[in-house]
Chains A and B, each alone.
Chain A
Amino acid sequence: MSVSRDEVLRIAQLAELDVDEDALSDLVAQLSRIIDYVAQLSAVPANGNVKAFVPGPDAIRFRPDEVNPAPLAFGPAAFAPAFKEGFFVVPKLDQFE
């Protein structure tokens, strides 16, 4: 396995994603297989001179620095799971980090 169980748990923590204990061994195997597969890229000789390819316009188009409110059909109260007096309501932090 190119990715260990502990590594998967660490990545899941970074990704803020709960991983089901029952599914963990399958997930470790699948992620290892994917990582092994994409690792073939490192077999290609590195070429530091290659300039990264970025699709899209060559230069960022500037526009006047004006405030143009986005015309929303309705506000966040209609789609947020919990919204009160103009604020998204969230549970408290377990501890200060």
Chain B
Amino acid sequence: MSDAKAVADRLVKAKRLNALLTPPKDLRKSLATQEAAARPTGVLYGMPVSVKDNICTLEFTTTCGSRILEGYRSPYEATAVAKLKAAGALIAGKTNCDEFAMGSSTEHSAYGRVLHPLDKTRVPGGSSGGSAALVAAGAVPAALGSETGGSVRQPAAFCGVVGIKPTYGRVSRYGLVAFGSSLDQIGVFGRSVHDAARVLSVISGRDARDSTCEDRDPLRLPNVPESLQGFVIGLPREYFPPELDPAVRRACDGAVRMMRELGAAVREVSLPHTPYAVPTYYVIAPAEASSNLARYDGVRYGPRFDGNLDLRSLYRSTRGQGFGAEVRRRVLIGTYVLSAGYYDAYYKRAQQMRALIAQDFRNVFDRGVDLLFTPTVPSPAFKAGEKLSDPIAMYMSDIFTVTANLAGLPAMSLPIGRLKGLPIGGQLIGQAFLEDEMIEAAYALERVVPATEES
């Protein structure tokens, strides 16, 4: 049990990262109130958990890193947040993110970029960059993020922490601001596999308020295994292309060797439609985003820009001024691919490709493979500004993570090495609703892998 004041002090100390959007005064006041109300019998009693700013909380504003929701207070809280509180956790402020979770660097936040905790000239990844940076800086042991295409795993890899994206339907999305509804999931960051896994276990399970949440009991945590005897690990060859950063390859090779030494059987496998995953994602996600973001119109919530005009102009100026550049681009792309004349060529084709990508995974798992192991991102954290002017270069950062979202599978990143001090992440992809197996393997790997050594 850490007391509220100490929690707030640690978060305020990390202020230079611009990872937290909650003002220190509000944070201190709320933490003190929450501490007084926390249930001492809860399994997370006293554990501070920061929450990405696209997840609704009653304690703090929910802006999604956007001007269009500046100052917005939600009249209800997300089920995941309610479950954390019921378990005795303290909601330790809201974390900075790419606007509406669209981005891979947290540079697309209306509230300024988040700094990488180990190198301020670099990005922490995104879109849940604020959550990853705070956990990496030791300000909190765990944080909530959200994933649509890798927004938990990619920043976890960049910052050197553990990030888990559960199976689609494992965690209720009630109170998660919608971006791509067939892809979105709440995910968790932790200093260790265990910290991340126990938070995931608390927030998982059925919820009558989300019809896409499966009617299942909360995730049961596995024991830390002695070995990986009996596990069959697949290495998809498409995730180890010739242009992969050599240090990332070395770190992955090292991790694979250790899994073998722990008794796992390792096999090369193929997921042949992988090269089409990013273009598929960048049709489906913007299409869904353009529909989901239609609700921001300056009428029901958030600020109103140029409110004295007629109604249509109010919509257009509020959305034009309220959304940042990346969100505007995605809303326009989404509208384009859904518009008459283009729907079949782009959206329908992308839906078919998504089915083939999901089938690739089923084929591999049907042949006796339990888990897949891959790099999380092709390279360590890049420099701020490096990819800002080139949306496609930014999108390529998600190349190894989008597939699990498209196929609805659980996946996680854990630190497996370093390049010039910058963390490298390894990814495990599991079978639907078998997070326990994935976490078991991660427990074993975490114990032996030289996570903070040069690769």
Which residues on A are within 8 Å of B, measured CB to CB? 3, 7-8, 11-12, 14-20, 27, 30-31, 33-35, 37-42, 44, 46-47, 50-57, 60-61, 63, 70-76, 78-82, 88, 90-94
Contact = CB atoms under 8 A, between A and B. Distances in A.
B448 interface: no
Given A17-B323, A17-B328, A41 B283 contact: yes
A57 B392 contact: no
A81 B319 CA distance: 14
B312 A88 contact: no
Interface in B77-120: none
B311 A56 contact: no
Contacts of B311: 90-94
B260 to A, nearest CB: 32
B227 interface: no
Interface residues of B, number: 72
A78 B392 CA distance: 40
Interface of B: 58, 72-73, 75-76, 168-169, 182-183, 208, 211-212, 214-215, 276, 279-280, 282-283, 290, 294, 297-304, 307-317, 319-321, 323, 328-329, 331-337, 339, 345-346, 349-359, 391-392, 406-408
A17 B354 contact: no
Contacts of B182: 54-56
Nearest to B76: A72
30 contacts: A3-B336, A11-B336, A17-B316, A17-B320, A17-B332, A18-B317, A20-B320, A34-B329, A35-B336, A41-B279, A41-B283, A41-B349, A46-B349, A47-B352, A53-B407, A56-B182, A56-B212, A57-B215, A72-B76, A73-B58, A75-B75, A78-B73, A79-B72, A79-B302, A80-B300, A81-B304, A82-B304, A90-B311, A91-B308, A92-B310
Nearest to A13: B316
A37 to B, nearest CB: 5
A27 B389 CA distance: 11
Nearest to B183: A55
Contact of A34 (B72, B309, B339, B392): B392
Contacts of A30: 329, 391
A52 B355 contact: yes
